[in-house]
């Protein structure tokens, strides 16, 4: 490949890397975007459409290879996000890759016909805008909920938690639908999630069959006093417990925030990992609680 022919290829690659840097940079700079996959998907669609549109005039080889080059930055950026966030978000990250590829193609196609068939080019752009809106409004919340909630269906192992001046033992929870919200006062995503858990707790506050516990993990030097102080600062009155030992690890919690849902018979049914605003946690958590209340018998 000559220096002259290599330049367009490098520019295709560069446009994709600029697009993914714009997406990641904006997500880091603005918490409202970084904590909501809808915003990340919208940014990805817009950035890669513009990257494709910017390179669509300089056709280098087949359209398919040019799409691959322009979207390459998104593929590498998404691979990095998978390594950072863990394998449970693979479906979300795969969707981001496909979004980058699809909108790179749309942008390239729109620019390719900009001079020869303006109506077609505008039509491609309009369809792209409609599809992006559908992805953000309809597809992402479903995909986010699917990625976060893992069915486990296993007996709850024995563990102990501290609550004020008494010990809560796992066997005492039998006969109740139990929601354990693992968190820590220094965990920013936890502090985003807990108000939604609080809203659901308020619905079941007077229901003796449903037990909520905000379990401070005690990780990284955390103390029960620090957790209680943080809940008070956030005006949250969730019943709090403290994990003085290996309870979180025993239950399979290796990162926070995490929610564990337990049925009346003492079986762990669901493990919910992480937090994202797009998921509509209040609705999904309420739905799972109602399902456990209606479909598990009392011991």
Per-domain boundaries in the chain? 3-148, 156-295
* pLDDT value for 87: 63
Check whether domain 156-295 has CATH 3.40.30.10, yes or no? yes
Q: Nearest CA to 60 among 116, 17, 7?
A: 7
Q: Nearest CA to 14 among 25, 2, 4, 6?
A: 6
End-to-end CA distance of the chain: 73
Average pLDDT, the chain: 88
Confidence tier at 295 by pLDDT (50, 70, 90)? confident
Q: Per the structure block, which two tokens stand in for 59?
A: 């056709």
115-160 per-position pLDDT tens digit: 999 999 999 999 999 999 999 999 999 988 888 888 888 999 999 9
* pLDDT value for 83: 55
* pLDDT value for 210: 95
Asked if 216 and 184 touch (Cβ cutoff 8 Å), the reply is yes
Please tell me the distance from the alpha carbon of residue 15 to that of residue 70, in angstroms, as a whole number: 6
Please tell me the distance from the alpha carbon of residue 239 to that of residue 210, in angstroms, as a whole number: 12
pTM higher than the cut 0.75: yes
Q: Nearest CA to 182 among 256, 90, 87?
A: 256
Q: What share of the chain is helix, strand, coil (3-state, %, to 5)?
A: 60, 15, 25
């Amino acid at each position: 490949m000559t220096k002259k022919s290599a330049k367009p290829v490098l520019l295709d690659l560069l446009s994709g890397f600029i697009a993914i840097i714009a997406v990641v940079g904006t997500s880091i700079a603005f918490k409202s975007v970084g904590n909501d996959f809808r915003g990340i998907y919208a940014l990805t669609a817009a950035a890669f459409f513009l990257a494709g549109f910017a390179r669509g005039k300089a056709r280098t080889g087949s359209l398919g290879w040019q799409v691959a080059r322009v979207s390459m930055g998104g593929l590498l950026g998404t691979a990095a996000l998978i390594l950072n966030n863990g394998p449970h978000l693979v479906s979300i990250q795969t969707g981001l890759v496909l979004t980058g590829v699809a909108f790179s193609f749309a942008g390239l196609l729109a620019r390719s016909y900009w001079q020869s068939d303006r109506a077609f080019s505008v039509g491609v752009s309009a369809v792209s805008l409609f599809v992006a809106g559908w992805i953000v409004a309809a597809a992402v919340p479903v995909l986010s909920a699917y990625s976060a909630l893992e069915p486990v269906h296993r007996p709850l192992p024995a563990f102990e938690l501290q609550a004020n001046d008494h010990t809560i033992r796992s066997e005492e929870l039998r006969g109740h639908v139990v929601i354990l919200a693992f968190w820590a006062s220094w965990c920013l995503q936890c502090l985003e999630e807990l108000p939604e858990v609080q809203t659901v707790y308020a619905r079941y506050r007077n229901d003796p069959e449903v037990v909520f516990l905000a379990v401070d993990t005690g990780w990284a030097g955390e103390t029960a006093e620090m957790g209680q102080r943080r809940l008070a600062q956030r005006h949250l009155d969730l019943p709090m417990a403290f994990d003085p030992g290996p309870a979180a690890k025993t239950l399979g919690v290796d990162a926070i925030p995490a929610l564990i849902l337990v049925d009346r018979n003492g079986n762990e049914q669901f493990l919910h990992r992480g937090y994202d605003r797009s998921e509509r946690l209040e609705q999904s958590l309420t739905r799972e609680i109602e399902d456990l209340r209606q479909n598990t018998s009392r011991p």
